Structure 1
Amino acid sequence: MPKCTDRRMELGRVGRRVVEAAFDGGDIATDGGVVLLRQVDERLGLSRAAARAVGDSRRAASVEHGMRELLAQRIYGLCCGWQDVTDHNTLRHDLVWQTAVGRDRSLGSAPTLSRLENAAGARQAWALHGVLLNQFVASRKAAPAELVLDVDATHVPLHGQQERAHFNAHYDNYCYLPLYVFCGQDMLACVLRPSWRDPASIVSAVLKLLARRLRQAWPGVRLVVRGDSGFSRAKVLRRLEAWGIDYVLGVQKNPVLEWNCALAAQAVAERHAASGTKERLIGEFSYAARSWNRERRVIARLEHGAQGADARFVVTSLSGDAGELYERLYCARGEAENRIKEAQLDLFGRRASCHRYAANQMRLLLAALAYTLMINLRRLALVGTELQQACTVTIRTRLLKIGAAVLRNTRRVKLMLASQHPLRQVFEVAAARLAPVP
């Protein structure tokens, strides 16, 4: 362990008592809850599967830290809020962190973790996506009848000399535009993409690979793709229909679509003028854009309120009531945006600060693995508690960030957690549920 400074800091008085502080407490950890992540990881086999997928091309005689240990260290760090590899120059000596990773000596340093990220290439990215898919398949106890896949793209701002950096006028910044695919809360894919590429340019290829794996696991499953107007390209629609994948995708407004529902829009406006409240109407019609090979079903949602008229359009291959499809199916895609925010902001999926493009894809996937670990912590340990629907930041600050004194000898490692922690009962419930089966 590094020597702690004995320099005292004066922090005022409480009555007659002088308040002092110094970093001389010894083996006291701030991340006492990281051991829960270890238990979830052991239950899932996540870091072990990731290590097998990444492989290890290092010279065996010179290896001190195994690939599983390095990946676990980096993933747990993201879950606990340590976004940069430089944080591990100190964390590597923390006894709780060594225990969580499964070592009894120092963990990997920042240069070691940096080499791990920069050594990754396209093969590793492909293999880690397989880990995400296998985790999703293993999480389902029974074969589902239907899976709804949410596709969405977001931006990762760049502030350096990263490979394939390009200025995007919409975001007014140099950025990447990664493509995400979710099924419920589970992340199935996160593909890094230069900002000059159309979001729809790779989505059909990604969906084809996902459909192949999902149908291999569940041959009779029905797949429905849901997304905004950026993905309703003619090529995408034709390919989804050829592969037997249903879709409900937004369509960008244009004069022809508005002309098709002009009378209905006028009726909604008149109803608003008469009632003084917002009026809404959902209908449908057949429509074929110039680039489409045939007419398709389009659902129109028309509204008129105090701020004027608003129209939204959706193209779908599904049958059924137009109102149900729009309100219950299409509008529910907003949940995927919350999941993207959790992966990008809470788990630092926007930290694309490596120079190499492949290394930044690796960082995106490490955040995805950390996201998978956190949602399974909720599922396996927090159901029925006050944190069962909490986001990553809330779980981190209220359950993982617990002060703990550590005693380690040849027989055991004892964590003396803060006695007055407000969520002590929740921690005890989670630990009991994650306890290894004899």
Structure 2
Amino acid sequence: MNHSTLPLPGLSPGGGKSVLARFDGGLLSSDAGVLALREVEKRLGVAERLAACIDDPRSQDQVVHRLPDLIRFRLLMIAAGYADGNDAISLRSDPIFKMAQDGLPSERDLASQPTLSRLENRPDARSRVRMGRAMVELYCASFRQVPKQIVLDLDDTFDAVHGDQQLRLFNAHYDEYGFQPMVVFDGEGRFITAVLRPARRPKGSEIRAHLRRLIRALRAHWPTTRILIRADSHDCGPVVIDWCRANRIDFILGVASTSTLRRHITGLEASAKARFAAAPQRGKVRRFTEFFDGAASWSRVERIIARVEAGAQGSDTRFIVTNLTGGRAKMLYERIYCRRGMAENHIKAWKAHLAADRTSCTKATANQFRLFLHAGAYWLMWVLRARMPKRSLWRIAQFDTLRLRLIKIAARVVERKTQIQLHLPSACPDQTILRVVLGRLPRLVT
């Protein structure tokens, strides 16, 4: 029995008339905005870049679904909110997704869920390395001209797992098994790379190895660009600091509080507490100072900046270390270091809005490939948002808002002999901004 022809039960009458609803509308789609994402993907070439990194042993003359088509389908699914590969069972016949693959609505269906699962398990360790380089190339290609300076925000995030995945590890802080991927964004929110790793705090040698590969790839494109590394105290250590200095890399890193550092700010803490106690109605008192010191394991003393804050809950002190020579302590802390907090918002968008924590494959290489797939979907949404008018609220909208307002648009698809017509809702509230974005897309740099 064809259940799509059965009426939906339990619908109340409207305007005195009974309501009859069936899933028999024909070529309809609820994701017309995917075509805008297709235009973004065409200009970025994310699918082609990732596909070029994977060896395809299939007989090409008998291939129905090319690797770039498979990857593009998966990227568009993730960006449209379909993070589960099982959704391909229904979406493979969606006319809009077919058009996004440069096909006709009446042509054969797209790849099935088993085909996409085989894709995820195809890359090996070498493919994973090549895809990491491809993501860096994608990042460099997103600039119109070579930048004078870039800021790299290094952070990690916990990813809980519930199976026997390779590299999984129990983390006592989160009281769960999982991964702790290392993720890098730039200061503007562009995605650079992600590395799958066990759920433990990274050692300095591991961070150094990761930075060495990343900086080498960036220097291959921009040998003279100045690079600044920002990270919290988890990624600060003598190995990292020495490597940055040896390779002409600027850094501004959080430092864990120690008795050696705290002896420099004892008087400042007492002064801040006294000022707050004298006028609590003025709010918290924040003071800054700087000095040169270092841990016993450091090879030399470094410039340390301390931020002391006193309030009703007591005092709070934070330390950062940097090799930047200019600037006042307050400016370096508030205008440069604190902006690394935006990286947490980027990770939130990557995980919460694009489901990047769906790392449920058994093989570590497959889960690493998933991180890159979700990174590619992040690029589609980020570029779509970057094309918005600069002073509009769309420029700071979350990815789930963009999806709800611009991607989830109903459409009736009519295929003619020489034309495909899309009939979109006349009452669509965001049709104006969609016109603006599509008008700006051709000016993207690829």
TM-score per shorter chain, which class? over 0.9
**Other-structure match for 2:66:** 66
**Other-structure match for 1:223:** 227
Q: Distance in 2 between matches of 1:222 and 1:356?
A: 37
Are residue 417 (structure 1) and residue 424 (structure 2) matched?
Answer: yes
Are residue 8 (structure 1) and residue 7 (structure 2) matched?
Answer: yes
Structure 1 residue 232 displacement after superposition: 0.8
- Deviation by residue 1:171-191 (Cα, 9 ceiling, x = unmatched): 111010000111121111100
**Other-structure match for 2:125:** 122
Q: Distance in 2 between matches of 1:436 and 1:198?
A: 41
- Deviation by residue 1:81-103 (Cα, 9 ceiling, x = unmatched): 00111000110011111000123
Q: Distance in 2 between matches of 1:5 and 1:144?
A: 55
Q: SS of the counterpart of 1:286?
A: strand
Say if 1:295 and 1:385 are closer, same or farther in 2 by CA, change over 3 A.
closer
**Other-structure match for 2:293:** 287
Q: SS of the counterpart of 1:111?
A: helix
Paired residue type of 1:208 = R
Paired residue type of 1:271 = R
Alignment partner of 1:177 out of 180, 193, 207: 180
Are residue 394 (structure 1) and residue 393 (structure 2) matched?
Answer: no
Q: SS of the counterpart of 2:387?
A: helix
Q: Distance in 2 between matches of 1:423 and 1:3?
A: 35
Paired residue type of 1:5 = S
Structure 1 residue 422 displacement after superposition: 0.4
Structure 1 residue 380 displacement after superposition: 3.5
Kept in 1, the 8 Å contact 2:304–2:321? The answer is: yes
**Other-structure match for 1:151:** 154
Kept in 2, the 8 Å contact 1:69–1:102? The answer is: no
Structure 1 residue 407 displacement after superposition: 1.1
How high is the sequence identity, in percent, across the aligned residues?
Answer: 38
Q: Distance in 2 between matches of 1:159 and 1:353?
A: 8
Paired residue type of 1:145 = K
**Other-structure match for 1:95:** 95
Kept in 2, the 8 Å contact 1:175–1:195? The answer is: yes
Kept in 2, the 8 Å contact 1:382–1:426? The answer is: no
Are residue 37 (structure 1) and residue 40 (structure 2) matched?
Answer: no
Matches within 5 A, 1:101-112: 101-103=101-103, 104-112=107-115
**Other-structure match for 1:361:** 368
Paired residue type of 1:316 = T
Paired residue type of 2:231 = G
Kept in 2, the 8 Å contact 1:149–1:183? The answer is: yes
Q: Distance in 1 between matches of 2:83 and 2:363?
A: 18
- Deviation by residue 1:178-228 (Cα, 9 ceiling, x = unmatched): 001111211111000011452544222222222223223222211110000
Q: TM-score, normalized by length of structure 2?
A: 0.94
Paired residue type of 1:142 = Q
Q: Distance in 1 between matches of 2:90 and 2:409?
A: 18
Q: Distance in 1 between matches of 2:223 and 2:134?
A: 20
Paired residue type of 2:45 = G
Q: SS of the counterpart of 1:364?
A: helix
Kept in 2, the 8 Å contact 1:347–1:367? The answer is: yes
- Deviation by residue 1:100-145 (Cα, 9 ceiling, x = unmatched): 0123321000000000001122222222222221122122222222
Say if 1:384 and 1:46 are closer, same or farther in 2 by CA, change over 3 A.
farther
Are residue 306 (structure 1) and residue 312 (structure 2) matched?
Answer: yes
- Deviation by residue 1:218-275 (Cα, 9 ceiling, x = unmatched): 2221111000000111111111111111110001112222122111111111111112
**Other-structure match for 2:412:** 405
Q: Distance in 2 between matches of 1:414 and 1:315?
A: 59
Q: Distance in 1 between matches of 2:442 and 2:152?
A: 33
5+ residue gaps, structure 2, are: none
Q: Distance in 2 between matches of 1:155 and 1:148?
A: 23
Kept in 2, the 8 Å contact 1:153–1:199? The answer is: no
Q: Distance in 2 between matches of 1:303 and 1:379?
A: 36
Q: SS of the counterpart of 1:18?
A: coil
**Other-structure match for 1:232:** 236
Q: Distance in 2 between matches of 1:282 and 1:249?
A: 16
Decide which moves more: 253-262 or 364-373: 253-262
Q: SS of the counterpart of 2:167?
A: coil
Structure 1 residue 46 displacement after superposition: 2.0
Decide which moves more: 255-264 or 352-361: 255-264
